[in-house]
Structures are given as structure tokens and as C-alpha cells.
Amino acid sequence: MSDVLFHNVRLLDPAGGVDQPGELLVREGRIADSGQSLGRPDGVAVIDGNGAVLCPGLVDMRAALGEPGFEYRETIASAATAAAAGGITTVAALPDSAPAVDDPAIARLLIARGAETGSLDILPYGAVTRGCRGEEMAELGLLREAGAVAFTDGTRAIGPARLMALALSYLRGFGGRIVQHAQEPSLSEGAAATRGELATRLGLPAVAAEAEAIMVARDIALARMTRGAVHFAHVSTAAALDLIRRAKDEGLAVTCDTAPPYFDLDETAIGNFRTYAKLSPPLRAASDRAAVAAALADGTIDAVASDHQPRDPDDKRLPFAQAAAGGSGLATLLAVTLAQVHGSTLDLGRAVALLTERPARLLGSAAGTLARGAAADLCLFDPGAAWLVEAGKLPGKAQNTPFDGRLLQGRVLGTWKAGRRVFGA
């Protein structure tokens, strides 16, 4: 592993409050120094960034990796390839695999498989319930000891209120957090779109946007009752965000994230039954999309996650109502988030914070910083460079992107894991 000096870069480290032109020195896989001018140490390779942004490797706090059980959709190796191309060096992996991550051995296996890639740290979520079936609580303490960073049933909401309350109470004992898919199950089962004029015109089974707010309101009440910590994933509606905002003002242990489709697209993206845009939760009205974008800027939303859900082509080549929900998102995470910067909704420092320092803090990870001594997990990107998203030409195995055909600004030029280049020439 060679030592490297990054020269002529814009250092952007929200964790350290740094945003300035300068240089960064990597020695033996760790950040040795940074500043305006570090000279030319002997035996160090120099990379001229030509003014590009050098930030911590992105931390993606929500992604399905396909493995184990769904390798025909994605493998850890193919996901690592896509992540590196997107500037991502750390991923929190959902537990609703086959088998589910309800056994400590599977959590340890995922961590080891991530290390084997040489480019990606995998932080496993533990299942809240056995098999993610919402019936019997899993061994949460043992999963935490095995490395689980938080607990969720993935794309299944934890429906029974009593079970949710028990899990919140138990996890409070060791600082654990539940990540909830905030869709009230009895209202959202079988839904393919958001209820409204478009779903009616297309004849699609639909769910009211209120199904999200109903679940958020219930779980905020349970967090208040138990003093437990709950995090709402891929929040997509104004009503839910208003509830979360008030809960934060009250001082409750409530946090949330969203994903790029919910601030960049609205329900019209499903077009004439475009299955690549069938997601869970479904795309919302334009007013909800605008509310999510505003919540990124005002701090209500704590992180942006890829919400990567790989699907096989056969999963999507079905009538819209029967097609599998989910979109790939690793390679597009940064660029779609930067669209909010180019649209003047968000400043660049806050955008990078939502992708690095803030998710790292929520997950209890040491990633997401350019601090001296930290692992040299780095992303070099040109925020103005344009590229076209083309399904079939994305890095990795999963090609089911809702952004197919979209021209984006913001290209990753290079990604480094512990000082070793894992993407870029």
C-alpha cells in the first residue's frame, strides 16, 4: 500500500467543520495530515485533484445486498463494485435476507464478507423479529454483541404495538435503536401506488399517504412511553415529517432518513406503468416531494440513504401491480443528492453531511470523517461533471434504477478504502 498525497483538492469534512482548498496526506491506510500546504514528503505518490471535492467515503445507512439468499439479484461482490463507483465505503445491510439476520453467526458472516471485498465495510442490521416475520422477538442482545448496529425488519413494518413497545424497552437497556419501515401494514398491504387521481386513472391498488403518518404517530407515542429510540426509514410524506419534527422538539429519541427518489421524483414518474419506479413506500404527490426536500435543508431529516433494493429483470417484467417494489441506488446516491445542491435547495456541506458524518453517527461508526488518524476511506468527486444514468450500464449487477435516462451532475472520480484505490483510474 503506497502513501498518497492528495493535492489541489477541496477538503470537505462536515464532521470536522472543514471546507477549504488544501491537501491531505495518507500513510499506511490512515489520514496522517491535512492542510493548506503539506510539502512533498519522500516516497509519497501525488494525486492532483484539479480542484475536485475530497470528502469522507460515503456511509449508506440502508441497503439490501441480495446475499444471502437472493444472489440472483445481487451479490456482496457486485454490490461492493456499485458502491465503490458511487463513492460509498460503508453500508448498513438490511436483515431481511434468506436466512434473515436473526442469528449472530449471520451478522458476523456479513461483516467478514464485507472485509473480503477489500472495498466495503458492511454494518449488519439485526432482525427485530425471527425471520423478520413480526411474530417473535429475536435475540437482540446476542445480535448486538455480534456487531449489529441497529434493529429492523427491513421492508416489513413492525406491526404489533405490544411487540414494538417490548423491543423499544429492551433495546433501551444497551442503547439500541429500532429502524422502522413506516407503513401501517393493514392499510398498505398489496398497494402499488399512492392513493389519488393517478392511481385511480391507472387502476392500481393504492395506499393513502396517511398510512405513513399513522405508523409514525404510533411509534412516536411508543418511544415516549418506553423512552426508547426509533428511527424512521425512507420518510416520504409531509405529514410524517411534521410529526417527527415535533417529536424532536419534544426531545424524544426520534430520528429519520429518506432516499433520493422521495426528494427527486414524484408519483408521475411511474408514467404509463413504469415498474422501475415502483418503490416501497410508493412515490408520492409533488407536494410531499417538496416537503421532503425542505426537510433536508431544515435538519428534520438526519441522513440520506440509498434504499438500494436490487431486483432481477424478471421481478420487474410483470404487470405493475404484480412487479416487485424496489430500486437500485448505490451508484446514483451522491449525484441525485447533489441535484438538490444544484437546485439551490441544499448547500454542499449539508448534502455531504447527510451522506457521511450524520449516518455514521446514527450507526455508531467511526467512518465519515477526515480526522487525523481515521481510516483513509475517501471519495473524490466533481460536483459539476455530468453523466447519464442508463439501466444496463450501471456498475454492479442490479440495474433496476428509477432514474433511468436521467442526466445528473456529480461524478465520482475515485474511491479509496483504507488508502487503497478501489474505483477510478
Question: Can you list the domains of the chain with their CATH numbers?
Answer: 57-363 (3.20.20.140)
**CA separation (Å) from 199 to 133, 184, 203, 215, 267?**
29, 19, 6, 22, 9
Question: Which residues have C-beta within 8 Å of that of residue 290, sequence separation ≥ 6?
Answer: none
Q: Would you state the cell numbers that stand for residue 166, as one nine-digit string?
A: 417490548
pTM of the predicted protein model = 0.97
User: Residue 31: its pLDDT value, please?
Assistant: 97
Report the mean per-residue pLDDT for the chain: 97
Determine contact, residues 363/92, Cβ cutoff 8 Å.
yes
Indicate whether 1 pLDDT > 60.
Answer: no
User: Residue 42: its pLDDT value, please?
Assistant: 82
Give the pLDDT mean for 279-307. Answer: 98
The Cα–Cα gap between 115 and 90 comes to 11
State the catalytic residue, choosing from 13, 266, 288, 307: 307
Confidence bin at 40 (pLDDT 50/70/90): confident
Residues above pLDDT 70, as percent of the chain? 100
Query: Over the stretch 153-203, which tens digit does the pLDDT of each residue have?
Result: 999 999 999 999 999 999 999 999 999 999 999 999 999 999 999 999 999
103 is catalytic: no
Burial of 386 (0-12, 13-18, 19+ CB in 10 A): exposed
Burial of 163 (0-12, 13-18, 19+ CB in 10 A): middle
Indicate whether 2 pLDDT > 80.
Answer: no
| DSSP SS3 for 82 | helix
User: Residue 392: its pLDDT value, please?
Assistant: 96
